[in-house]
Structure 1
Amino acid sequence: MDVEIALDMSLPHYAVNPESLSKLERKRVLKEASENLKRIEESRRSGTSYQRRRG
């Protein structure tokens, strides 16, 4: 699922006024989410490779 689609689907559940989100704020939220997902993916990859070497 694309990050932007996920944001559109989840924002109404977690925001009080999702329609009042400015373009700049939306861009910042998308950038943060993408960076966090990238960080999680990198740590997941490094963690699974470590476990493979051990086990």
Structure 2
Amino acid sequence: MVRGNFVMKRIENAANRLVTFTKRRNGLLKKAFELSVLCNVDVAVIISSQKRKTL
């Protein structure tokens, strides 16, 4: 099954944007942790918020 093209666009609602950012951040951190455990390696993830705050 072929997936269609997805056009990235800005989420205008600030509350929805924050929720989406939080969910994506948590998913990315989970994947990094899983990679660390499966491959027995150190993994570094650098995430910055919209206001350039490093998390």
The equivalences for 1:1-55 within 5 A come to 13-14=7-8, 18=10, 21-49=12-40
**TM-score, normalised to structure 2's length?**
0.54
Higher relative contact order (CA 8 A, sep 6+): 1
Percent identical across equivalent pairs?
6
Report the RMSD for the aligned CA atoms in angstroms.
Answer: 2.1
Runs of 5+ unmatched residues, structure 2? 1-5, 41-55
Runs of 4+ residues over 2 Å off in structure 1: none
Aligned residues: 35
In structure 1, the gaps of 5 or more residues are 1-11, 50-55
